[in-house]
A and B are shown apart, each in its own frame.
Chain A
Amino acid sequence: MACTRYLTQIQEMVDGTLGAIRRAELEMHLDQCEDCHALLDDLRRIHDAAGSLDDLQPPDRVWLQIAGRLRQDGRLAETAASSAPRRSHLALLALAAALVLAVGASLMLLWPRGETPRAPAEAGAGAPNSGNPAAVNSVEDVENELRQAEQHYESAITRLQQIANSSQSSMDPQVAATLQRNAQVIDQAIAESRAALRSEPTSAPARGALFEALRQKVTMLQDTIALMNEMRKGNSAGAAQVLNKS
């Protein structure tokens, strides 16, 4: 039978809120008391098991009922299937997102760290093929994969850059200058990590740095475009206001 006076401390230990002094006191007791030790272990296991419970899937009928209700309530467009023309800024944003998603997807194959829940065993990533042992067997394969992923990024960057350049005029010059300077900082990082990768083709840190820098570049370009698009959207909103008032 666990000792009543240590119950709260044991629970707080599981909560992760036990202060250092009381923790030390408890630890001393745990060394001597098998019951309390067992209690702590069990409660911890319960806590951890609860924290790692998987999602439960609702039965299909729930969705069917939801869809039915939406239809009944007239909340669905009749021509839902035909794609309505989108406003251009949305299309642009969607394009940007799609580009990055495509890039991201291809990276997932090669570079599972960071994006996916980590499996400690492969987190070291020292071995070049730790990410995808089934598909990647040799150094050449890795390099091919790398090149492909990089090309995705490159083309995403080129396309984003074109969009950004063509709309450059809508941005405050000082802000534009800051963005440009910082784009150069990122370019420098890309160039350095690429050089590093040439000298040590299997280096995980070099590879990680290259992708991180490419990713940063993409996000910065996206942000730039989003900023400009938002301003345009402001204009159309303004125009709509004018129309409504007249």
Chain B
Amino acid sequence: MATSKMTMHPSVPGPAEGARAAELALVERCRRGELGAFEELYRAHAGRLFSLACRMLGNPADAEDLLQDIFLAAHRKLDSFRGEAALGTWLYRLATNQILDHVRSRAARAGQITDGLEDATVLADAGEHRLGDRAIARIDLERALAQLPEGCRAAFVLHDVEGLEHREVADVLGIAEGTSKSQVHKARLRLRALLARKW
């Protein structure tokens, strides 16, 4: 499996006009060892990165550990931040790479990378679970997400939650574009079945 690194930046909101200088000033303060400055940076970005980690890993406890690693790594690497990209983008890249490394090593440990099971079942079930008028509650969706198999969860999170295109998902995960499509599609069908179930 190719281990391509994250090179794109999904819909991270760019800094407002004029905020870039403030961002550089903040980074400069972090470099000088000001804890307050780094806390400011953390508060601004932790939510987004934590969400990504949680959803990709399907497990808040792992995501917490990883978030800690991400920000410690960011602090070490701040010297290499020169403001070409927005700080949010820079952090997002760093986080994605760490998350993927984690997912990969976990998959390698578990001896499975993508789920091969029950394609046929999922497809056959496609018509059986209508959502009908039922609204999709956020909490239900999060819970259902956590129940997806590793491979298709990562693809779904990157594509439908983070808004990457299939070719980008493929690039990030080191899989073929067609695989990204089938994983995302499978994830949607599974989610439909999960969401249609009574909780």
Contacts and interface: CB of A to CB of B under 8 A. Distances in A.
B138 A7 contact: no
Interface residues of B, number: 59
Contacts of B142: 53, 56
Interface of B: 16-22, 24-25, 28, 32-36, 38-39, 42, 46-48, 50-51, 54-55, 60, 63-64, 67-68, 71-72, 75-76, 123, 126-128, 130-131, 136, 138, 141-142, 145, 156, 159-161, 163, 166, 181, 184-185, 188-189, 191-192, 195
Contact of A66 (B18, B22, B71, B166): B71
Contacts of A53: 51, 55, 138, 141-142, 161
A103 to B, nearest CB: 8
Contact of B36 (A69, A80, A215): A80
Contacts of A62: 46, 50, 64, 67-68
A51 B18 contact: no
A97 B33 contact: no
Interface in A63-95: 63, 65-67, 69-71, 75-77, 80-81, 84, 90, 93-94
Q: Is the interface of B mostly helix, strand, loop or mixed?
A: helix
Given A70-B75, A90-B25, A100-B17, 8 more contacts: A41-B131, A42-B131, A43-B188, A49-B136, A53-B142, A59-B64, A63-B46, A70-B35
A96 B18 contact: yes
A65 B67 CA distance: 10
A226 interface: yes
Interface of A is mostly: helix
B38 to A, nearest CB: 7
A31 interface: no
A7 B192 contact: no
A46 B195 contact: yes
Given A46-B160, A46-B195, A39 B127 contact: yes
Nearest to B126: A2
Interface centre among A47, A61, A115, A222 (most CB of B within 10 A): A47
B33 to A, nearest CB: 3
Interchain residue pairs A-B with the least CB separation, the first 5: A77-B33, A1-B127, A100-B18, A55-B47, A50-B160
B160 A51 contact: yes
Contact of A97 (B19, B72, B130, B185): B19
A97 B28 CA distance: 15
Nearest to B33: A77
Contact of A226 (B21, B126, B195): B21
A70 B41 CA distance: 14
Given A62-B46, A90-B28, A49 B75 contact: no
A142 interface: no
Contacts of B46: 57-58, 62-63
Given A46-B160, A58-B64, A63-B39, A1 B126 contact: yes
A61 B42 CA distance: 13
B64 A46 contact: no
A5 to B, nearest CB: 11
22 contacts: A1-B126, A1-B128, A11-B181, A46-B191, A53-B51, A53-B161, A57-B46, A58-B46, A58-B47, A58-B63, A61-B64, A62-B46, A63-B39, A70-B72, A80-B32, A80-B36, A94-B21, A96-B21, A97-B18, A101-B22, A215-B17, A222-B18
